[in-house]
Amino acid sequence: MQQTHRFFVGSLATTFLAGSLSMTAIAQERKSPDLAQTISKVRENVATLHKKLPDFICQEEVTVRETENARTIEEKHYLLSLRAVRRPHDAANLFSESRDVISATINGKAVNEHKYDPPIHWLRGGFARDLFTFFDEPTSSCYEFKPISTPEATENNTLVLDVTLNKNLRPLPPECAHISMGLSGARVSIDLKALQVLRIQEETMHSEQFSGPFSRQNGSFACSPVIEYAPVSIHGSEYWLPRSKSVDFIKTKGQFSHSYMSQYSDYQKFETSVTITTVPEAKW
């Protein structure tokens, strides 16, 4: 009986030790990665995208919803557009981003692509601005990155960050002086395996005056634009580009809201070719 008792206690001790080592391994596996190293690698990947991204064509499906007093009106815009990002030619212009509509329909009816006007200016571009401002030089150095712990992030192997302008930089250096209020802060999700940006949610903004579709509903609105990224293949190379972009304008007083959702698909490299034909001289 005495030997059995000692064996049982020894087995318990061995089991406890193995369990402790296992829990320690799991804790180390789930330990937050080195923040500075992670941000540095993400910056490298974004800088590479900035340098290598070709001009490309993609399909856009834009859903526009207006809700007032429980009544909703919806429009569907289908676009084929050409996108391009250019490196700066001078210090005053960090980068330029263009979007040319090749074809467009609204609710199934074709519209003149040269006269197509997006519902709001915010939908004209947006592929590069947020990503390059937060993670490409020279503006990235103007921000602070603070990790936020969420259960979903741990399960999905993502790192969630609150990104804000560095309060110690006063006054802001010239390269950051142009940053808009909408980009003064954001919540960003990073894929820790690919070390790429998964999601950017801009800081909530409040506007009091609108034109166009909002003119009859002027007042105070809150909005928080969101961009979600995913890997896409263009001409055999992989790039992390937006798969969707959305924004909801919600009136703080009254039952009125405007929402916009853009979904992007069918990415293709934009290519042109020139053929020079020599016409032989006529013999008379």
Terminal alpha carbon distance of the chain:
123
- Render pLDDT for 101-140 as a digit per residue (tens, 0 to 9): 889 999 999 988 787 876 655 555 566 778 888 998 888 8
- Mean pLDDT for all residues in the chain: 76
Please tell me the distance from the alpha carbon of residue 207 to that of residue 213, in angstroms, as a whole number.
14
Q: For residue 194, what are the CA distances in angstroms to 15, 67, 143, 146, 229?
A: 37, 39, 22, 20, 12
pTM score, whole prediction? 0.75
Residue 242, judged by CB atoms within 10 A of its CB (0-12, 13-18, 19+), counts as buried
Residues 6+ apart with CB under 8 A from 128: 50, 85, 95, 97
Please tell me the distance from the alpha carbon of residue 155 to that of residue 24, in angstroms, as a whole number.
18
Please tell me the distance from the alpha carbon of residue 148 to that of residue 28, in angstroms, as a whole number.
18
DSSP state of 215: G
Whether residue 200 is predicted with pLDDT greater than 70 in this model: the reply is yes
